[in-house]
């Protein structure tokens, strides 16, 4: 299956503010072409992005990029992105992954080719890079209701994290197929064992901003002396699990398994009986 990693990534924006986000995304997501509308560059000739190309028509640019890249991130209003891609959409197995990010960096929306084309994963990676909220509406993902929060020491092996996650799910009476996300604090973004564990488990990794954990009501989770000492956070596993989703509640409070802290939260569907 082709995807952003195989065919390349393009980031497109219309505004100076969007260009700043585009530059941040290009740094975080790997090699990417950045395209900034000429009007944004004219208002700031020095240029808000490190390296970019200008364009005059988003429709024409989309036509040029649609079959050439595996991933398209638009930092534009959603309606603009929809109108730009509409003439080119053909098949979910061939279309590129398309993600829309608002100019405020608050949302990363999986718009097209969510599961097959990798847009769900691309939206999550963009959200992690910006501290934004990923928006994924794929039915198969929406039916998964569990989030496993993980806290671990620097250098923890992936195998230990995998075993801890499986043990926590067993203790909660749940299975891996019910898990939508693995979650941790963004301070662990470069933790090799955690990244490898997510890949081994086949789960997306959601990184929760540390500042969001610090500002959350602490009565929602038990505080951890280790997390405070190592990360300057009141806790890691429980708040990560709770904050990575919406309408969450703890299904399994934090457990320490072979030095790895894990907690399981459940997202409650507002329409469930």
**Could you give the C-alpha distances from 195 to 42, 106, 155, 201, 273, in angstroms and in order?**
41, 24, 11, 10, 36
> What's the CA gap between 19 and 6, in Å, rounded?
24
Predicted local distance difference test score (pLDDT) of residue 113: 83
Domain shared by 26 and 120, yes or no: yes
Domain shared by 94 and 112, yes or no: yes
Q: Among residues 123, 140, 157, which one ends one of the domains?
A: 140
230-259 average pLDDT score: 92
pLDDT band of residue 178 (cuts 50, 70, 90) is very high
pTM for the whole structure: 0.85
Query: And the tokens for 219?
Result: 């009565």
Domain shared by 43 and 136, yes or no: yes
Cβ 100 vs Cβ 76: under 8 Å: yes
**HEC string of the chain?**
CCCHHHHCEEEEECCHHHHHHHHHHHHHHCCCEEEEEHHHHHCCCCCCCCCCEEECCHHHHHHHHCCCCCEEEEECCHHHHHHHHHHHCCCCCCCCEEEEECCCCCEEEEEECCCCCCHHHHHHHHHHHHCCEEECCCHHHHCCCEEEEEECCCCCCHHHHHHHHHHHHHHHCCCHHHEEEEEEEHHHCCCHHHHHHHHHHCCCEEEECHHHHHHCCHHHCCCCHHHHHHHCCCCCHHHHHHHCCCCEEEEEEEEEECCEEEEEEEECCCCCC
Domain shared by 135 and 185, yes or no: no
Q: Rounded mean pLDDT of the chain?
A: 90
Cα-Cα-Cα-Cα dihedral of 243, 245, 251, 257, to 10°?
Answer: -60
Domain shared by 174 and 260, yes or no: yes
95-122 average pLDDT score: 91
Domain shared by 80 and 155, yes or no: no
> What's the CA gap between 205 and 270, in Å, rounded?
24
Q: Among residues 97, 124, 140, which one ends one of the domains?
A: 140
Residue 120 lies in a domain: yes
Q: Which domain holds residue 230?
A: 143-267
Residue 272 lies in a domain: no
Question: For the segment 197-206, what is each residue's pLDDT rounded down to a tens digit?
Answer: 999 999 999 9
Question: For the segment 11-62, what is each residue's pLDDT rounded down to a tens digit?
Answer: 999 998 999 999 999 999 989 999 999 998 876 655 554 578 999 999 999 9
Residue 273 lies in a domain: no
Domain shared by 64 and 147, yes or no: no
CATH for 209: 3.30.420.180
User: Which residue matches tokens 């790997």?
Assistant: 30
Q: Among residues 90, 111, 140, which one ends one of the domains?
A: 140
78-84 average pLDDT score: 97
Q: Is the pLDDT of residue 271 over 70?
A: no
Residue 80 lies in a domain: yes
Number of domains in the chain: 2
Predicted local distance difference test score (pLDDT) of residue 217: 62
């Amino acid at each position: 299956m082709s995807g952003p990693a195989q065919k390349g990534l393009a980031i497109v924006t219309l505004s100076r503010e969007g260009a700043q986000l585009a530059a941040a995304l290009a740094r975080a997501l790997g090699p990417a072409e950045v395209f900034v509308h000429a009007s944004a560059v004219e208002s700031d000739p020095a240029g808000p992005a490190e390296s970019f190309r200008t364009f005059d028509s988003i429709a024409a640019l989309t036509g040029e990029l649609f079959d050439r890249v595996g991933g398209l991130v638009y930092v534009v209003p959603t309606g603009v992105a929809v109108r730009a891609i509409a003439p080119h959409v053909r098949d979910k197995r061939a279309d590129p992954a398309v993600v829309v990010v608002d100019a405020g960096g608050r949302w990363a929306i999986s718009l097209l080719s969510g599961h097959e084309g990798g847009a769900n994963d691309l939206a999550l990676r963009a959200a992690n890079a910006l501290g934004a909220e990923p928006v994924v509406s794929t039915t198969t993902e929406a039916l998964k209701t569990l989030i496993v929060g993980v806290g671990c020491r620097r250098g923890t092996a992936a195998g230990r994290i995998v075993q801890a996650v499986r043990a926590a799910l067993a203790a909660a009476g749940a299975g891996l197929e019910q898990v939508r996300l693995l979650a941790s604090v963004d301070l662990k973004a470069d933790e090799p064992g955690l990244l490898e564990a997510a890949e081994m488990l086949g789960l997306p990794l959601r990184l929760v901003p540390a500042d969001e954990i610090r500002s959350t009501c602490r009565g929602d989770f038990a505080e951890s002396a280790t997390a405070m000492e190592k990360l300057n956070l009141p806790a890691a596993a429980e708040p990560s699990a709770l904050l990575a989703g919406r309408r969450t509640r703890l299904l399994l409070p934090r457990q320490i398994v072979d030095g790895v802290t894990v907690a399981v939260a459940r997202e409650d569907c507002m329409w469930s009986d």
